[in-house]
Amino acid sequence: MGSAAVTRAEALTREECLELLQYNSYVGRLGFVLDGKPIVLPVNYIAGDTSLIFCTGVGTVLSRAVGAPVAFEVDGVRSLYRAGWSVLVQGVATAITDPTELESLRRGPLKSWAAPGPQQWVRVSIDEISGRRIPGG
C-alpha cells in the first residue's frame, strides 16, 4: 500500500538556488573522498553562475580535492521558526592556474580564513544544483 510522503519542503528552481549560493551565504561545506573515506570541510567562497571558487593553503587537506568530483552545500536556518533552506552543488574541483585570473582573485575579497601563506585557488564547476526550502510554520 503506497502513500505519498508528506513534506513541507519545497523544491527550489536553478535560479533560486544560484541566488542563495551567490548572495545569502559565504561559507559552505565541501564534501569529497579522501583516502577512501568521505570528508566534509567548511570553506568560505565566492560564486558565479557556472562555478564557485575558494582558496586554501598549498598542500592542505582541501587542496587534495583538486581533480576530484565534489559536493558543496550551503544553507540558512531560522530554528525558532522551523524554517530554512539548503542548496547542493555537484561538480569537479580544479586548480586555477591562469596568471591573469589568479592576480584578479588575489586582489579580490576572497581570502582563506585558515591558511595564511601561499594560496591555492580552486574552482568547483556547478554541474548540478538543487535546493529545498522549508517555510516557517
Rounded-to-5 percentages of helix, strand, coil across the chain: 20, 45, 35
Beta bridge partners of 41: 30
In this predicted structure, what is the pLDDT of residue 84?
93
Let me know if residue 5 belongs to a domain.
no
> Domain limits at 105?
10-134
Let me know if residue 79 belongs to a domain.
yes
Pick the closest to residue 9 from 76, 71, 84 (CA basis).
84
Let me know if residue 1 belongs to a domain.
no
What total number of domains does the chain contain?
1
In this predicted structure, what is the pLDDT of residue 6?
61
CA angle 40–95–24, rounded 5-degree value = 55
CA distance 58 to 96: 12
Let me know if residue 4 belongs to a domain.
no
Question: What is the phi/psi pair of residue 53, to 5°?
Answer: -130, 140
In this predicted structure, what is the pLDDT of residue 136?
74
In this predicted structure, what is the pLDDT of residue 25?
85
Terminal CA-CA length for the chain: 30
In this predicted structure, what is the pLDDT of residue 137?
64
Grid coordinates representing 12 are 527550489
Grid coordinates representing 7 are 513534506
* CATH at 99: 2.30.110.10
Chunked into runs of 10 residues, the chain (137 residues) has average pLDDT values of: 65 96 94 97 95 93 96 90 92 97 91 77 98 86
